């Protein structure tokens, strides 16, 4: 993060969201289908996980193809083209392949008009979008770039472990992109007020995919260790650890921003799980109409979950120009992050 000292030049950064776009996996998957995949009695996922529908990719879809389509739609919403941006940041927790970066693969999908654009990836798992928007707002505020596209594109379904239904039943595929840049007359007043990211690395192994990196390379996948190459999460432990830190975390954020909970018009959290989100809302005392939830019908799309929810909030009129919006969430690490902005 740039800085969380109230006197820093990086408080109240002049940067705006100019447009957003999404692309979802082509297959609608119900809770009943998850029950069958996990070998459970019909009704278990709906009752115990609470996600009723989510999208998975179909044959021919990829993180790059969905990401490129989301970028096209975000640019259209902003009234801009590829020639009007300086670069693309891919903010995803799941890479399409180890090399090259997913941002380069998205540019490849977008075609020759992207030649020479800046591109790079940011990975903070479920907080990748929030971290990328925080960093991009700093770069725009300093004048390094005029306009950037941040895209989170996640294809998580191939890595699910059907023997862990509590986590497998949460996850979705999808992509969302936003165009960000200096505020224009239409976005006058937009800015990022403050941000905060804290990592508690003693809990680093609570959420992980152990295989696929240098410690357990793909060449060592022999059919007996498949679970090492699949998603694993100690959800209850993650939640307990998060709740222990949340009150002090938000107190620090609001002190730095010189804001209070009463100043927040809308909170868009990472769509982690229905039960955890309801408990967080109640514990923090946030009214229902200020807490935006989509997880029950959209699932947890990893880093794409925050921008997907934000796009829906904008399209539905729940998020309007001039509103004070709080983006927040947790990620593997264990990390907690938040960003307070005027839309």
Residues 139-162 pLDDT 10s: 999 999 999 999 999 999 999 999
Phi and psi at residue 308, to the nearest 5°:
-65, -45
Residue 9 located in a structural domain? no
Residue 228 located in a structural domain? yes
Strand partners, 291: 267
CATH no. for residue 214?
3.40.47.10
> What does the DSSP 8-state code read for residue 111?
-
Query: Does residue 284 share a domain with residue 171?
Result: no
How confident is the model at residue 219, as a pLDDT? 86
User: Is 194 a residue whose pLDDT tops 90?
Assistant: yes
Domain boundary among 181, 209, 228: 181
CA distances from 101 to 94, 218, 245 (A): 11, 18, 33
Residue 8 located in a structural domain? no
Query: Does residue 176 share a domain with residue 49?
Result: yes
User: Is 3 a residue whose pLDDT tops 90?
Assistant: no
Does the bond joining 122 to the residue before it have cis omega, within 30 degrees of 0? no
Query: Does residue 151 share a domain with residue 198?
Result: no
Residue 35 located in a structural domain? yes
Query: Does residue 304 share a domain with residue 233?
Result: yes
Query: Comparing C-alpha atoms, which of 251, 66, 289 is closest to residue 157?
Result: 66
Could you tell me the two tokens for 338? 């938040």
CB 195 within 8 A of CB 187: no
CA 288/CA 266 separation, integer angstroms: 10
Query: Does residue 202 share a domain with residue 68?
Result: no
Q: How confident is the model at residue 10 (pLDDT cuts 50, 70, 90)?
A: low
Domain boundary among 124, 151, 181: 181
Average pLDDT, the chain: 92
Query: Does residue 221 share a domain with residue 167?
Result: no
Residue 5 located in a structural domain? no
Task: Name the residue range of residue 227's domain.
Answer: 191-342
CB 342 within 8 A of CB 324: yes
292-332: per-residue pLDDT in tens?
999 999 999 999 999 999 999 999 999 999 999 999 999 88
Q: How confident is the model at residue 4 (pLDDT cuts 50, 70, 90)?
A: very low
> What is the pLDDT averaged over residues 48-60?
97
Q: Is the dihedral of CA 303, 83, 342, 298 positive or negative?
A: negative
Query: Does residue 154 share a domain with residue 83?
Result: yes
Query: Does residue 147 share a domain with residue 39?
Result: yes
Query: Comparing C-alpha atoms, which of 133, 152, 23, 18 is closest to residue 76?
Result: 18
pTM strictly above 0.75: yes
CA 269/CA 281 separation, integer angstroms: 10
Q: How confident is the model at residue 271 (pLDDT cuts 50, 70, 90)?
A: very high
Residue 101 located in a structural domain? yes
Q: How confident is the model at residue 118 (pLDDT cuts 50, 70, 90)?
A: very high
Query: Does residue 243 share a domain with residue 284?
Result: yes
More confident of the two residues 226 and 67: 67
Query: Does residue 86 share a domain with residue 140?
Result: yes
CA distances from 304 to 44, 187, 190, 203, 299 (A): 26, 23, 22, 23, 11
> What is the pLDDT averaged over residues 119-145?
97
Strand partners, 89: 120, 150
Query: Does residue 136 share a domain with residue 105?
Result: yes
CA 21/CA 324 separation, integer angstroms: 21
Q: Which residue has the tokens 């191939």?
A: 158
Domain boundary among 181, 216, 242: 181
User: What's the structural domain count of the chain?
Assistant: 2
Query: Does residue 297 share a domain with residue 241?
Result: yes
């Amino acid at each position: 993060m740039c800085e969380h000292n109230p006197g820093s030049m990086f408080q109240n950064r002049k940067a705006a969201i100019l447009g957003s776009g999404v692309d979802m996996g082509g297959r609608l998957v119900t809770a009943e289908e998850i029950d069958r995949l996990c070998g459970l009695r019909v009704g278990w996922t709906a009752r115990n996980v609470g996600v009723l529908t989510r999208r998975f990719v179909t044959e021919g879809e990829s993180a790059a193809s969905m990401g490129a389509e989301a970028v096209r739609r975000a640019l259209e919403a902003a009234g801009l083209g590829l020639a009007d941006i300086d670069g693309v940041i891919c903010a995803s927790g799941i890479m399409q392949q180890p090399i090259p970066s997913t941002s380069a693969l998205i540019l490849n999908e977008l075609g020759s008009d992207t030649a020479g654009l800046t591109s790079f990836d940011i990975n903070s798992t479920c907080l990748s979008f929030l971290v990328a928007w925080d960093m991009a707002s700093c770069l725009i505020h300093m004048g390094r770039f005029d306009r950037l596209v941040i895209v989170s594109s996640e294809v998580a379904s191939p890595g699910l472990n059907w023997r862990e239904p509590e986590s497998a039943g949460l996850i979705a595929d999808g992509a969302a992109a936003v165009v960000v840049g200096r505020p224009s007359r239409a976005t006058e007043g937009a800015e990022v007020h403050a941000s905060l990211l804290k990592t508690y690395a003693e809990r680093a192994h609570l959420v992980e995919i152990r295989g696929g990196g240098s410690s357990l390379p793909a060449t060592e996948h022999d059919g007996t260790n498949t679970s090492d190459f699949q998603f694993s999460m100690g959800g209850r432990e993650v939640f307990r650890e998060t709740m222990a830190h949340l009150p002090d975390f938000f107190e620090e954020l609001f002190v730095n921003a010189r804001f209070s909970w009463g100043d927040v018009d809308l909170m868009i959290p990472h769509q982690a799980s229905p039960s955890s989100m309801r408990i967080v809302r109640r514990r923090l005392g946030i009214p229902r109409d200020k807490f935006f939830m989509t997880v029950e019908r959209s699932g947890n799309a990893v880093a794409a979950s925050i921008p997907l929810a934000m796009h829906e909030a904008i399209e539905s009129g729940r998020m309007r120009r001039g509103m004070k919006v709080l983006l927040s969430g947790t990620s593997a690490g264990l990390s907690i992050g938040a960003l307070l902005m005027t839309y």
